[in-house]
Amino acid sequence: MSGATVVNHPLVQHKLSIMRDKATSTQGFRRLLREISLLLCYEVTRDLPVVLQTIETPICEMQAPTIAGKKLVFASVLRAGNGLLEGMLDLVPSARVAHIGLYRDPETLKPVEYYFKAPEDLNERLVIVVDPMLATANSAIAAVQKLKDRGATNIRFLCLLAAPEGVAKFNESHPDVPVFTASIDEKLNDHGYIVPGLGDAGDRMYGTK
Ligand code: PRP
Ligand code: URA
């Protein structure tokens, strides 16, 4: 598996363009991220296996498709991952949730871990890691490694924006983990920010600096 699946739906691209605009308010940014997360969740779960279950409609019995296997796990990379998580839980309310607390040291661009909590049986579930930004990929690589260390074997990574350098590095480190994104932007700048990007996702979501 290499590269990334780009979700090129006009609704996603339209909402993303408004999010990129620096004039968009904190409130607007959060609302749009939640809306986009529904559309991205639809794509990242598109090929989930289904099993047939016997149910009875008011008219007759039928074999009805339902999602097979154990409940999904959504793993949110804090803080900004929570912006995607909220909408995904609207769509898949039964999902279990893991939280991975990481922040990027602004000097070294290396991730610093401060929190981890996940369901016990990660080895039995599909884990979808969510973080809006895949820049250097240092955070995503560390988050996925942590989940693998705790037993996860079936993992997908979902973000809003990716840098080409980040996608390549992530693919190299975790070739078994497919990446889904709304856009692969042009490049990283000297500070490890995605260009043109949208700025700092966490700050724009929460109105911090
Ligand atoms: C942002 C983003 C990713 C990371 C991406 O988080 O949400 O986790 O940077 O950068 P990378 O690919 O170069 O590692 P940040 O560290 O700003 O933390 P925050 O979500 O708490 O604001
Ligand atoms: N983290 C962000 O929030 N934005 C970037 O462009 C890079 C890392």
Percent of the chain with pLDDT over 90: 97
- In this prediction, the answer to ipTM > 0.85 reads yes
Which atom of ligand 1 is the closest one to the Cα of 135? 12
pLDDT digits (tens, 9 = 90+) for 90-102: 999 999 999 999 9
Q: Which of 37, 78, 104, 130 to mutate to test the pocket of ligand 1 (most atoms within 8 A of CB)?
A: 104
Whole-model pTM: value is: 0.97
Q: Which pairs count as long-range contacts for 32-35, CB under 8 Å and 24+ apart, including other chains?
A: 33/83, 33/84, 33/87, 33/132, 33/160, 33/205, 34/83, 34/86, 34/87, 34/90, 35/87
Which atom of ligand 1 is the closest one to the Cα of 131? 7
Q: Looking at residue 59, which CATH number applies to its domain?
A: 3.40.50.2020
> What's the full length of the chain, in residues?
209
111 is in an annotated binding site: no
Which atom of ligand 1 is the closest one to the Cα of 111? 14
pLDDT digits (tens, 9 = 90+) for 102-125: 998 989 999 999 999 999 999 999
In the reported structure, the alpha carbon of residue 60 is separated from the centroid of ligand 2 by a whole-number distance in angstroms of: 53
- The count of C-alpha atoms lying within 13 angstroms of the C-alpha of 144, restricted to the half-sphere facing its C-beta, is 28
151 is in an annotated binding site: no
Looking at the predicted structure, is the pLDDT value of residue 69 above 90? no
Looking at residue 209, what is its pLDDT? 87
Q: State the total domains in the chain.
A: 1
DSSP collapsed to 3 states, the chain: CCCCEECCCHHHHHHHHHHHCCCCCHHHHHHHHHHHHHHHHHHHCCCCCEEEEEEECCCCEEEEEEECCCCCEEEEEECCHHHHHHHHHHHCCCCEEEEEEEEECCCCCCEEEEEEECCCCHHHCEEEEECCEECCCHHHHHHHHHHHHCCCCEEEEECCEECHHHHHHHHHHCCCCCEEECEECCEECCCCCEECCCCCHHHHHHCCC
Instruction: Report residue 85 as tokens.
Output: 């998580």
Looking at residue 156, what is its pLDDT? 98
Looking at the predicted structure, is the pLDDT value of residue 1 above 90? no
Looking at residue 201, what is its pLDDT? 97
Q: Collect all residues with Cβ–Cβ distance below 8 Å to 29 and sequence separation of at least 6.
A: 19, 204, 205
Q: Which of 105, 194, 195, 206 to mutate to test the pocket of ligand 2 (most atoms within 8 A of CB)?
A: 194
203 is in an annotated binding site: no
Mean pLDDT for 135-139 is 97
pLDDT digits (tens, 9 = 90+) for 41-68: 999 999 999 999 999 999 999 999 999 9
Instruction: Report residue 173 as tokens.
Output: 């480190």
- Can you give the residue range of the structural domain that contains 17? 5-206
